[in-house]
Amino acid sequence: MSRGPWARWVGLLSAREAPESLALLRVLLGLCMLHAIGSVAFTGTWALVWVDASDGGYKEMGELPWLVAALGGASRAVIGGLIAAGLTAAISLTVGLFSRLSAFALLQIFMALGDTNPHTGGSYDVLISNALWLLVLADSGATGSVDARIRARWRPSPPPITVPAWPRYLVIGQLLTMYASTGLQKVSASWVPGGDLSALYYILQQPTWQRIDMRWAAPLFPLTQLATLGTWLFEVGAPSLLLVLWMRRTRARPGRLRALSNRLRLRDLFIVVGLAMHAGIAILMEVGPFSFVSMALYAALLHPDEARPLFDRLLRPFGRAPRGKTAQTGQD
């Protein structure tokens, strides 16, 4: 007997799966946060941009976030302490020590530092904050973590580990929402079809965006036009991936569109194009941690069975993966 829409929706959100995809996301996001905070900490920039002018910063800070205010204000001691705590929390999140607590602490510290001087942040702040909050809700330390090793000592023969799948679904939703909202905001003639498609070329010539002198790109203007069009189409078309994922999950059902989508491996094509796009941005443009965080979220597009070999390869330099026995689940 077929189930109704509500029953299918409940079944989707109550599904459980092996934890490798969330664990891979945890490690990648932890490394991203180490880079995001560490790049400011170890260059000494923090003392200029986050410290009040009364203690050596470049400006007087306005209304302070609650955490900075509660600790005594934007002094060198307070900001330095928050940075040290943030780096510690990022390391703890990466190795999976008190995973949820580490994600929560990192979230609060990251928001406090960014809100101290909004000029130092960008739209990626919300992307990072949402991702960290999802790790607070998710059991990302169920495998490949210090937490998992500690649990294994208390239970030498634990049952197969599964975690709720809905946090991974929400990460996918976050990624696709980012693309769709970004694409829909690009309404100038330099972006949309029918215009001159000069947006990427213009951006690459801006000293505030470029990593290196890009005057050599002038003869490649037609290629930048093609890249501009491709980027816009990729972003506004990103929500269609939900249909692709559904057809992949229900591959056993009949239907020509479903069969064609799975034969063309459209999800894999989306991953390749998206990662290549963000890698290009990271190489050519200075956009803070945006590219690295976006690529980290792609871990959610991998089913745990696909993430498992990647995760094991990532942990190989550190010896045997510290994890319990995980459930084997078929690909969705």
The candidate with the shortest Cα–Cα distance to 30, out of 80, 116, 112, 98, is 98
- Whether residue 242 is predicted with pLDDT greater than 70 in this model: the reply is yes
Of 102, 99, 96, 179, whose CA–CA distance to 145 is shortest? Answer: 96
pLDDT tens-digit profile of 261-318?
999 999 999 999 999 999 999 999 998 899 999 999 999 999 999 998 887 787 766 5
CB 282 within 8 A of CB 270: no
Mean predicted confidence (pLDDT) in 145-149 = 90
The pair of structure tokens assigned to 275 is: 């990662």
| Percentage of residues in the chain having pLDDT higher than 70 | 93
C-alpha torsion angle, residues 273, 275, 280, 286 (rounded to 10): 140
Residue 69 has pLDDT above 70, yes or no: yes
Give the number of residues written for the chain.
Answer: 332
Compute and round to an integer the Cα radius of gyration of the chain. Answer: 22
Mean pLDDT of the chain: 90
Tell me: pLDDT of 324 over 60: no
Residue type, 145: S
> Would you state the structure tokens that stand for residue 134, as one six-digit string?
């999802």
CA distance 56 to 91: 29
Give the CA distances from residue 131 to residues 19, 120, 221, in Å, rounded to whole numbers and listed in that order: 16, 19, 36
Q: How far apart are CA 212 and CA 205, in angstroms?
A: 9
Q: Answer with the residue of higher pLDDT: 328 or 72.
A: 72
Q: In the prediction, which pLDDT does 1 show?
A: 47
Positive or negative torsion for Cα 209, 212, 218, 224:
negative
Interval 172-217: pLDDT, tens = 999 999 999 999 999 889 999 999 999 999 999 999 888 889 999 8
The pTM of this model reads 0.91
Please tell me the distance from the alpha carbon of residue 262 to that of residue 274, in angstroms, as a whole number. Answer: 18
pLDDT value for 157: 61
Q: In a 3-state reduction of DSSP, which class is residue 254?
A: coil
Cα 201 to chain centroid distance, Å, stands at 26
Give 201's Cβ-side CA count (13 Å radius): 18
